[in-house]
Amino acid sequence: MYYVLKKKDLPKFVKLLNKDFEVIAPVKKNGSLIFDKVSSADEIVKNYINTDYPPKNLFLPDGETIFEYKKSNNIKIKHPGKPKKRVIYRIRPCDVNALLKLDKILGGGFYYRTKRENTKIIAINCTKAGENCFCTSLGDDQLKEGFDLLLTDVGKEFYIKIGSEWGKKLMKHKIFKRAENSFKKTFFECKRFFLAKDLDKKIERNFNTKIWEKHFKKCFSCTACSVVCPMCYCFDLVQVPKSENEGKVKKFWSSCLLKEFSRVAGDFIFRDKRVNRVRQFLSHKFLYGKKHYDEFLCVGCGRCISHCPVGIDYEKFLEEIK
């Protein structure tokens, strides 16, 4: 079911959302385009391909408190409360697909799940691809589910597809009109392309070859690609004491690209070579992800390429691997 919203009515739309929800949308902060709280439509950046950072911090905040403890004769444990009701407005299909894939992996955990349940998704289709985008290779440019509303920019207005009961109810407001019987859809094309079929088998075949050395010798384990990846979710549980008898246990982002990541007692490190850690990074996404969750743990947002300080291009690697 499609509805139409005139662009001039956008401020009213954001106001409507703000009544019951914390509205989170793309904003410019410290020179980066990120997802953050907004109170009105004019704070929102509208002309962009994608945000510099994915919205994963909204669901997996870096340094999130898992529990607080207090020691006396006994140990008292306190958990943080449920998150606020919020809506993410203007999230791209690749980032929604990343959340759908993360659901399969993290959906059993209380903290991730409650944040997902308390967050409405108003996604917006892309009309243009960025130079590093490769979502079309992985099929993550399309959204079949995972949204409450899906917007498509068609010039002066948005076509809105309904994806949930909440979305359907919202469309009863007078700023929305039912769409005509037929209307034009917009398409876009990524310049980059590889065949995703059998990517897992290709990685497996090349696991013990020199190909990793060839492509990733330059990597110096800065983990920028991990930080900006909407699907990198690996973490450390860390005790953060406040005093001798109380403190918190927090969950911090970590990355398999770090040497520390595999270190055990006795200072033994299982992936000592940097190239082997890049191999782990990509194998997790394209080989183990496929095996364990039947998904490639990548949505082709291309942020890893944009943010690499030494110009490593994972997509080129995926094109070349045979």
Partner 1 sequence: MKIYTPDIGKIKKTIKETEDTKTFQIELENKILREHFYFNPGEFVLITVFGVGEAPFSISSSPFNKNYFEITARKTGNVTNALFNLKEGNKIGVRGPHGKGYPMDEFEHTNIILISGGCGLAPLKSLIEYVIQKRGYYNKLTLLYGAKTPQNIIYEKEISKWKKIKNFDVHLTVDKGNKKWKGNLGVVTKLINKVKNFENSVVCLCGPPVMMKYSIPELKKKGVEDEDIFVSLERKMQCGLKICCHCNINDVYVCKDGPVFRYLDIKDLSELGW
Residues interacting with partner 1, by CB under 8 A?
66-67, 69, 71, 74-75, 77, 79, 105-106, 108-111, 207-208, 233-239, 241, 244, 247, 249, 251, 254, 256, 261-266, 270-271, 276, 280, 283-284, 287-288, 291-292
The smaller minimum CB distance to partner 1, of residues 165 and 244, is found at 244
Query: Quick check: 66 and 109 in contact, CB under 8 A?
Result: no
Report the alpha-carbon distance of residue 71 to residue 68 in Å, rounded: 10
Report the alpha-carbon distance of residue 75 to residue 99 in Å, rounded: 35
Report the alpha-carbon distance of residue 248 to residue 239 in Å, rounded: 6
The smaller minimum CB distance to partner 1, of residues 11 and 241, is found at 241
Report the alpha-carbon distance of residue 232 to residue 236 in Å, rounded: 13
Give the shortest CB-219-to-partner 1 separation in angstroms: 18
Partners of 178 in the beta sheet? 3
Give the shortest CB-46-to-partner 1 separation in angstroms: 36
The smaller minimum CB distance to partner 1, of residues 141 and 200, is found at 200
Query: Quick check: 169 and 140 in contact, CB under 8 A?
Result: no
Give the shortest CB-295-to-partner 1 separation in angstroms: 14
The smaller minimum CB distance to partner 1, of residues 124 and 278, is found at 278
The smaller minimum CB distance to partner 1, of residues 67 and 220, is found at 67
The smaller minimum CB distance to partner 1, of residues 13 and 233, is found at 233
Give the shortest CB-153-to-partner 1 separation in angstroms: 37
Six-digit token string for 317: 């690697």
Give the shortest CB-296-to-partner 1 separation in angstroms: 14
Six-digit token string for 152: 């498509």
Partners of 12 in the beta sheet? none
Give the shortest CB-184-to-partner 1 separation in angstroms: 44
Per DSSP bridges, beta strands 157-162 and 22-29 are unpaired
Query: Quick check: 228 and 304 in contact, CB under 8 A?
Result: yes
